[in-house]
Amino acid sequence: MSQVSFVLAVTSGVNNTGKSTLIKSLGLQELKYDVHRKLYRLKNNEQYIIQVIEYNGIPPNLELLDGVFICYDTTNRDSMDYLPDLINVFVSQHVPCLLIGLKSDLTVQRTVDPQLGHLIGNLFGVQAIEADNITLQGIQLLQKRFIQFIYSDRKILLQSQQQGMTDPIIITPPSTR
Ligand SMILES: Nc1nc2c(ncn2[C@@H]2O[C@H](COP(=O)(O)OP(=O)(O)OP(=O)(O)O)[C@@H](O)[C@H]2O)c(=O)[nH]1
Ligand SMILES: [Mg+2]
């Protein structure tokens, strides 16, 4: 049994929001030795094992999660309808959240206001970003926010979430051995 360092859930209220593609965008190295769980490791850190759970809605065993990426689709207004309920459950269970609006490269098909994610995030003290899985810029933003998210001190993340602070927390990754 491997030691899992971080359990990340990637979820959304509806399907087809780009969750599976987002997990690929993170550029993690998939570990093949555990058929029951999707385990990955960071390319530059042998010790850090990440379990990723993709889910539509609220995954079971919330107490096992270290963090959640709550996704919506900027080309599908309906994908935002479930966000308040979803975020509320994670926040009340003290799971650190990041709200991610995907497919922002599809500017013509966009149906949601770029500020709406921030507004909803603000209501819950949850940070919100818009990004995409296609452009280099989008993928780099997702990777950067992922690294910040998994290396952040959970206590600090939750504290700011409870206080409704949505400014990004600047952290320094621990040096790899
Ligand atoms: N243009 C664009 N297309 C995207 C983006 N992310 C995902 N897609 C496309 O959207 C479709 C759905 O992506 P998936 O990653 O399968 O979405 P999902 O949320 O995992 O879908 P389910 O698991 O079925 O709920 C695919 O055709 C992707 O190629 C994005 O950021 N931009
Ligand atoms: Mg999927």
Tell me what the pLDDT averaged over the chain comes to: 92
11, 100, 133, 136: residue to mutate for ligand 1 pocket, most atoms within 8 A of CB: 133
pLDDT in tens, 25-50: 999 999 998 889 999 999 888 889 99
Answer yes or no: is 173 within a domain. Answer: no
Answer yes or no: is 20 within a domain. Answer: yes
On whether the CB atoms of residues 57 and 86 are closer than 8 A, the answer is yes
Q: Is the shortest distance between the CB of 16 and ligand 1 below 6 Å?
A: yes
Answer yes or no: is 169 within a domain. Answer: no
pLDDT in tens, 62-82: 999 999 999 999 999 999 999
Q: How far apart are CA 132 and CA 130, in angstroms?
A: 7
Q: Structural domain of residue 68, as residue ranges?
A: 6-163
Nearest to 126, CA basis, from 86, 88, 166, 154? 166
Answer yes or no: is 97 within a domain. Answer: yes
Q: Which two tokens stand for residue 30?
A: 């998939």
Total domains present in the chain: 1
Answer yes or no: is 105 within a domain. Answer: yes
